[in-house]
Amino acid sequence: MIKINKFNGSKGLKRLDQILDKRRLSQNHKVNVVSKILKDIKKNKYKALIKYEKKFSNNNQIKPSRKEVIKSTRSLSPKIKKAIDFAYNRILKYHSLQKIKNISYKDKLKNNLQYKSVPINKVGIYVPANLPSTLLMNAIPARIAGVKKIILANPRLNKKLNPAVIYAAKKLGIKEIYSIGGAQAIGSLAYIQKVDKIVGPGNIYVAKAKKEVFGDVGIEGMVAGPSEITVIANNKSEIKSVITSLIGQAEHDANSQSIIISKDLSVLRKVKKAIKANLENLPRKKIAEKSLKTNGLLIHASNDKNIVDLVNLIAPEHLEINVSNYKKYLSKIVNAGSICIGKFSAMAVTDYNVGTNHVLPTMGSARFSSGLNVSDFYKKISYINLSKKGIEEIGKQAITLAEYENLEGHALSIKSRIRSN
């Protein structure tokens, strides 16, 4: 199913980069249909939204009634509610520690300068399926930041609401809920509900839709989807845990990417041999098989430096360092959405209740962006209050630069204030 590859030296890294680019570019053919959907919703609002919901989801009930919302959570087992409550508390604790510090100081000229974080007013959260953990990951940081209004878009499953998502929404104080999905849900949040920012992961259609609406609304500073994992393993790693990490990511989406890197060829051969048997009883077997066949990679690294170079090039959403001597890699690996360290740190548990966020950069965007956090829900505003002495002293130097840049209007604006004093 998956071949064992080598990508040694600069030529090898270049060849791997071409493979990664091919995956990224293979998604672009879907942009045209997404653009059409978004333009239609922007122009025709609910009429277009209902059309696409019927076409893609066979859904004609866009906004659930209050009665339906209340009824949906009654069927949810106490066990699931308890698990959601547990995750809520851990995610809340971790994200509450992400404190934003405002800056305020007065210089010797008595100029008062400030830098303040102001919460975004209205946020749309997209949750692609019956995934209460995804709602917690997105809404808790928003609530901590002080976002006043959160709007949820969550597609129905078999024409029914997702009870666990609705339970989580109630716990988070989210009252405005829409039963919509896909690119049309992103279009609705942007052009009908007119939120200020849209967050939440999704398939390639959702990711592309978010990129298209950026500028009309804000989005996370990353590409969030399709999912990815890279695992570093050696001959002391437990093969079963390595394989299940690979499969656990592959079952997300046919476009997901799962990669194992090892210096030990025997490890890669064992993984390759055992994959088929481990897929056999997986409910999402067909999805995982397609993902592994299309995007799976087993990489035989030449040395530790090669491993570090490979990981930093891949810039995976999730990285598992499933070796006991992990410390030699930590300071050198700088491109990853999250890093799970040691044999007990399964990536899968971070999707739920460790406390860290699971909305992470994909498609190589971990090179320049971070996972979702509290600061994503703030705008940063500078405040400037100059004194009489301040405009006189600072203004002289500013006039010099303005005139040098041939911006006479700028210079005149400063001069008028100095003269008025």
Active site residues: 317-318
| Cβ atoms < 10 Å from Cβ of 315 | 24
Q: What is the DSSP string of 241-291?
A: HHHHHHHHHHTT-TT-EEEEEES-HHHHHHHHHHHHHHHTT-TTHHHHHHH
Torsion of CA 74, 76, 80, 85, to 10 degrees: -30
User: What are the tokens at 202?
Assistant: 């999704």
Q: Which amino acid is residue 403, in one-letter code?
A: E
Residue with tokens 């210096």: 263
- For the stretch 18-26, contacts whose Cβ atoms lie closer than 8 Å and that sit 24 or more positions apart, written own/partner, are 19/297, 20/313, 20/314, 20/364, 23/255, 23/257, 23/295, 23/363, 24/363, 24/364
CA 366 to chain centre: 10
Pairing mode of beta strands 338-341, 112-119:
unpaired
CA angle 17, 19, 21 (to 5 degrees): 70
The DSSP string of 125-148 is: EE--SS-HHHHHHHHHHHHHHT-S
Q: Rounded to an integer, what distance in angstroms lies between the CA atom of residue 140 and that of residue 119? A: 13
Residue that the structure tokens 């597609």 belong to? 155
Measured between alpha carbons, how far is residue 35 from residues 108, 181, 184, 216 in Å? 54, 16, 10, 14
Q: Find tokens 């845990």 and name the residue.
A: 241
Residues 215, 25, 135: CA angle, nearest 5 degrees: 55
Whole-angstrom distance, CA of residue 163 vs CA of residue 81: 10
Please name every residue paired with 123 in a beta bridge, in sequence order, or none if there are none: 150, 197
Radius of gyration of the chain (CA): 25
Inter-residue contact 34 to 212 (CB < 8 Å): yes
